[in-house]
Amino acid sequence: MVQARPRRSVLAVPGSSRKMIEKAKGLPADEVFLDLEDAVSPLAKAQARTEIAEALASDGWGSQIKVVRVNDWTTQWTYRDVVDVVSAAGVHVDAILLPKVVDASHVQALDLLLTQVEKDAGLEVGRIGIEAQIENAIGLTNINRIATASPRVQTLVFGPADFMASINMRTLVVGEQPEGYDTGDAYHHILMTILMAARAHGLEAIDGPYLQIRDVDAFRRAASRSAALGFDGKWVLHPTQIDAANEVFSPRQEDYDKAEMILDAYEFHTSAAGGARGAAMLGDEMIDEASAKMAQVIAAKGRAARM
């Protein structure tokens, strides 16, 4: 499934920095999430909720998907994050990003709380989505139950920093391969498990951050790996990473053109055969129902990216 609004670049912005939020409004990221979790110190959380609500309601936003990352359910902050921000500015919130989700109950608790706040604030019930961040072994183990815990769930998001810490992976460079492991991609199993759950349940799969923000080539390499698997987008921490993410997670022009050509040829063949489907030739290449499906994925992503 490809969403009509792409999430190729997901920009992380500290909720406590009005200056950075103002700057984010004009950046070409597909999604902006205002953070109340790890980018905000405990003493600044209450003020950040107010900043975020005011900023969301202010003018100057582009077409970005607007998301707020709340604190996880093991803290004392989650309910106030949701109540304060959604009561004050819920109409401007597209989704709540819930970190460190360990099982379906975390998603269900957020769903129930959102429903109450939406009712109380006179908002449309059920419109605000949930992005579930997978950041530890238990979350990965329960991923299918998390994905289906609520109709609000829109995306599954990899959190590599917390994930690596939770499994004792031996590295300090978030998003890079651990030193000494040179026989493959140390993230492959995690990424594939997230991707499988996302595709099985019609959700988007979003890769997490790459922390060496000055090394755009390295960001591009890391992003290309998850994009090649089929991920829909990746977090970006700095404006320099946005263009790279938008490019890497859009189909290349030649692939898009070819996909549209396959679809045209297949449709022509099908209607010429009176609606019967089957194999056809496009130049020297054989195409069939499955090639048409693959082309459909690339064409849909390409059309969404060109909107």
Site residues, ligand GLV (CB under 6 A): 99, 135, 159-162, 208-209
Taking the complex as a whole, the smallest distance from the CB of residue 208 to ligand GLV amounts, in Å, to 4
Closer of 226 and 291 to ligand GLV (Cβ): 226
Residue 50 and residue 33 in contact, taking contact as beta carbons nearer than 8 Å = no
Taking the complex as a whole, the smallest distance from the CB of residue 33 to Mg ion amounts, in Å, to 12
Closer of 159 and 251 to Mg ion (Cβ): 159
Q: Please tell me whether residue 72 binds Mg ion under the rule CB under 5 A.
A: no
Q: What is the dihedral of CA 200, 67, 98, 297, to 10 degrees?
A: 10
Closer of 208 and 302 to Mg ion (Cβ): 208
Alpha carbon distance 210, 242 (integer Å): 12
Q: What is the DSSP string of 119-143?
A: HHTTPPTT-SEEEEEE-SHHHHHTH
Interface size with Mg ion, residues (CB under 5 A) = 2
Closer of 51 and 162 to ligand GLV (Cβ): 162
Taking the complex as a whole, the smallest distance from the CB of residue 163 to Mg ion amounts, in Å, to 8
Q: How many CA atoms lie within 13 A of 62 on its CB side?
A: 13
Provide the token pair at 29. Answer: 């990221």
- Residue 274 bridge partners (DSSP): none
**Considering all CA atoms of the chain, what is the largest pairwise distance in Å, rounded to the nearest integer?**
69
Taking the complex as a whole, the smallest distance from the CB of residue 200 to ligand GLV amounts, in Å, to 23
Taking the complex as a whole, the smallest distance from the CB of residue 168 to ligand GLV amounts, in Å, to 15
Residue at 248: amino acid letter: V
Closer of 131 and 162 to Mg ion (Cβ): 162
Residue 99 and residue 71 in contact, taking contact as beta carbons nearer than 8 Å = yes
> Scanning residues 153 to 172, which ones bind Mg ion (CB under 5 A)?
159, 162
Closer of 139 and 159 to Mg ion (Cβ): 159
Stretch that binds Mg ion, among 41-49, 80-88, 152-160, 224-232 (CB under 5 A): 152-160
Q: How many CA atoms lie within 13 A of 194 on its CB side?
A: 33
Q: Please tell me whether residue 209 binds Mg ion under the rule CB under 5 A.
A: no
Taking the complex as a whole, the smallest distance from the CB of residue 33 to ligand GLV amounts, in Å, to 10
Among residues 161, 200, 168, 163, the alpha carbon closest in space to that of 12 is found at 161
Residues that bind Mg ion (CB under 5 A): 159, 162
